[in-house]
């Protein structure tokens, strides 16, 4: 019930291409869906997030698409750059005791070739 | 930009020893978290802490683990008797209250190696 399933595990894209990472969740109580970006040796950092009242959110080259009925959401990275090479985690959370505790997917290692 | 600071960056210990991992959350934040990441696996929630007490904990956070906010700036995770399977990267995170409390700020982590 608490799982967040993420795919693919790894992704290789050419510079300028589109990177797409998919996630699915089961718990309908989740109401906040962030994506975190993690570079080697660093902690995860919030990249972009969406709430289920909208179907899409765009920030620069990064877009989240959200399908509430299918309980799926995805991250699209347009015009992928070598600097985007990192591990990406989707997550889902709901308020609990005044705070949000994200449940993370397994992560996607993205490599963008120059 | 303010950041969460964790020390040490690497910790090597013998099985059965006690370790304390230290974190300095962002100064105006009130919620604190510990997560861990075993090599190549997902980031797993351990515990959240608010108002000087544990607010949530996972099944991973058993009696071997404890957390403390010993003063106004530090937040610590203690593992009483380390096991080989405790080897992981441990991340501290913090968040404030109010409208942005869903955004967690993570530190760079402490890599714990239990030999």
pLDDT in tens, A65-103: 999 999 999 999 999 999 999 999 999 998 776 778 899
* Sheet with B19-24: strands ordered across: B5-7, B19-24, B75-79, B65-68
Say if residue B23's pLDDT is above 70: yes
In terms of Cα–Cα distance, which of A41, A89, A104 is closest to B108?
A41
* pLDDT score at A32: 92
Contacts of A100 in chain B (CB under 8 A): 95, 101-102, 104
Model confidence at B98, pLDDT cuts 50, 70, 90, reads low
pLDDT at A20 over 60: yes
SS3 state at B100: coil
What distance in Å separates residue A11's CA from the closest CA in chain B?
15
Task: Determine, for residues A43 and B109 on separate chains, whether the beta-carbon distance falls below 8 Å.
Answer: yes
Q: Which residues pair with B6 in a beta bridge?
A: B23
| Cα A92 from Cα B87, distance rounded (Å) | 26
β-pairing, A10-14 with A108-113?
parallel
Preceding amide of B8 cis, omega within 30: yes
Query: Tokens 């070739």 label which residue?
Result: A113
| Amino acid B99: pLDDT | 61
């Amino acid at each position: 019930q608490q799982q967040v399933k993420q795919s693919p595990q790894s992704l290789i894209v050419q510079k300028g291409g589109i990177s797409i990472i998919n996630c699915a969740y089961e718990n309908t109580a989740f109401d906040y869906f962030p994506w975190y970006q993690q570079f080697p040796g660093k902690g995860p950092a919030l990249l972009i997030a969406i709430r289920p009242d909208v179907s899409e959110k765009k920030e620069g080259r990064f877009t989240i698409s959200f399908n509430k009925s299918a309980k799926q959401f995805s991250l699209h990275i347009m015009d992928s750059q070598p600097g985007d090479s990192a591990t990406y985690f989707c997550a889902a959370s709901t308020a609990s005791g005044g705070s949000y505790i994200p449940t993370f997917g397994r992560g996607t290692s993205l490599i963008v070739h120059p | 930009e303010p950041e969460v600071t964790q020390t040490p960056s690497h910790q090597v210990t013998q099985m059965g020893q006690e370790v304390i991992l230290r974190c300095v959350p962002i100064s105006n934040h009130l919620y604190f978290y510990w997560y861990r990441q075993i090599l190549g696996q997902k980031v797993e929630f351990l515990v959240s802490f608010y108002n000087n007490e544990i607010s949530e904990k996972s099944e991973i956070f058993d009696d071997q683990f404890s957390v403390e906010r010993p003063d106004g700036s530090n937040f610590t995770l203690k593992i009483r008797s380390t096991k080989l399977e405790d080897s992981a990267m441990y991340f501290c995170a913090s968040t404030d209250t109010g409208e942005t409390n869903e955004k967690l700020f993570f530190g760079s982590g402490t890599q714990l190696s239990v030999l």
